[in-house]
Chains A and B, each alone.
Chain A
């Protein structure tokens, strides 16, 4: 059970303000999820330079850049709370493989050429400072605050779940048949980092995308397979999608403006966005996938 915020910018003039806008939005989601928080930022070229990739790692060794520097060009590493972001001038999969080779115990919780992910446990406001959210820039971002239901409060169990290249998924609600789907995915060789129900949804979506589904189809398939109540925000290298289950008890509100698209669990997260009074504000219909692309 949780709070979600997401912002997809259409107007490049706003890119430098992405982090500041997300930080303001986050204030409206803190109380929904006091246990943990994570963020994802797309297109921050200070955090992921052009032509580089980034992986976000939990349990990284003390000086990952030193070990990786032997293997890869232009390696950087920076730690923020539990998360270490490692970048290098190689493709994301090569970077992730190298990280796994030098630190087999570490968990890769974010991977991409556009994306950086940070997640940890603790007070969301303080974590936003740890991640230096306010300074982020880029074209898209999201944040999640967690009130843990059945799985432990750990950095691995925090959202977002980024289990495919530039893919992120966050969730408010709880699934009621995820254990069975987890077993089926494990049977297909898919590994899990946490006991969190949302990770099952993220791995399911990633598997559908790997099968060749587009995001909309993947989310429809999720709706057919998963029981439970959910509002999901899914972001990719080129877009932003929102879906709620057919019963749609968990809140979601979307605001669409010529300069941006935003979604949140509650309106109060949207109240300070520039031009909110001119935006089209609506609640997503049950079971319908809403998607926006760059």
Chain B
């Protein structure tokens, strides 16, 4: 049952992947399986990869453990770039749930939108969503930096432990609910804040941190525009739920 389509028995024919003159290894998912792709990325024979026609496939470029450049041309399904460690993965399209979940290091960039739980539990590296991110963006984030060009959905940064989330658009309701030590920056409107999340003063060091994050995300116009930077607000933990007490038992 539930025979998802990537079983190792499904092997690709040789013409499914090819290397061009510049040393870029191309894998076309019209004919090759995701298993073939990931097996190649886990024992890489090249440093640069093109992945064609993902058409919403799941688990594209997961478990990368090397400084590879991977360019995915199209839309991906669940968990693209999952647990990335050092890879630079660019998706020219949109991404399904759990984008770059538990990333350790490296960069994952999505040119389109990301579905729910983008950057979930990620511990390091940089996740850039140029479009919008859906619900629960940065849920339980543990050190990753996330920069979203558009909006993020409700319950983003839920239980966010560490790292930084920059939202250039609006944030949905419940932002930063039960947040620990993560730092949140939002330029647009913010819905109702989650439990224990409060607005905090934005000082010069925060503005420089913000400019650094935007620069790292390639959003240099915004990073270099003091007026735009001034529009961002900062949010973080009130640290009132750090110790369990009866007075706040309704917030747990």
Contacts and interface: CB of A to CB of B under 8 A. Distances in A.
Instruction: Consider the complex of A and B and state whether they touch directly, i.e. have CB atoms less than 8 Å apart.
Output: yes
Contacts of A281: 94, 113
A238 B1 CA distance: 37
Given A251-B115, A283-B115, A268 B56 contact: yes
A147 B2 CA distance: 9
A251 B153 CA distance: 14
A268 B2 contact: no
B56 A28 contact: yes
A281 B76 CA distance: 13
Given A266-B56, A267-B56, A268-B55, A285 B96 contact: no
Contacts, number: 51
Interface residues of B, number: 23
Contacts of B116: 248-249, 251, 283
Contacts of A272: 55
B97 interface: yes
Interface in A237-286: 248-249, 251, 253, 266-272, 281-283, 285-286
A64 interface: no
Contacts of A283: 115-116, 134-135, 153
A248 B94 contact: no
Contact of A31 (B5, B56, B172): B5
B57 A248 contact: no
Contacts of A266: 56, 77-78, 96
B75 interface: yes
Contact of B97 (A251, A269, A282): A251
B135 A267 contact: no
B4 interface: yes
B154 interface: yes
A30 B69 CA distance: 32
A251 B117 CA distance: 11
A34 interface: yes
A276 to B, nearest CB: 9
A63 B228 CA distance: 74
Contacts of A34: 1-2
A271 B54 CA distance: 9
A223 to B, nearest CB: 15
Q: Interface residue tally of chain A, by bracket?
A: 20 to 34
Contacts of B96: 251, 266-267
Contact of B115 (A253, A268, A269, A271): A253
Given A251-B97, A281-B94, A267 B4 contact: no
A267 B75 contact: yes
A55 B172 CA distance: 44
Counting chain A CB atoms within 10 Å of each CB, which of B3, B5, B115, B172 scores highest?
A: B115
Contacts of B78: 266
B94 A267 contact: yes
A143 to B, nearest CB: 17
Contacts of B113: 281-282
A211 B167 CA distance: 44
A267 B96 CA distance: 7
B115 A286 contact: no
A253 B1 CA distance: 25
B117 to A, nearest CB: 9
Interface in B57-77: 57, 74-75, 77
Contact of A271 (B1, B4, B55, B172): B55
Given A34-B2, A251-B116, A271 B153 contact: no
B135 A286 contact: yes
Contacts of A249: 116
Contacts of B97: 251
A266 B75 CA distance: 11
Contact of B56 (A147, A270, A286): A270
B4 A268 contact: no
Given A31-B4, A268-B55, A268-B57, A286 B154 contact: yes
Nearest to B56: A268
A62 B173 CA distance: 56
A227 to B, nearest CB: 18
Contacts of B3: 31
Contacts of A270: 56
Nearest to B53: A271
20 contacts: A31-B3, A31-B5, A34-B1, A248-B116, A249-B116, A251-B116, A267-B56, A267-B77, A267-B115, A268-B55, A268-B57, A269-B56, A271-B56, A271-B75, A272-B55, A281-B113, A282-B113, A283-B116, A285-B153, A286-B154
Nearest 6 interchain pairs by C-beta? A268-B56, A271-B55, A267-B56, A283-B134, A271-B56, A34-B1
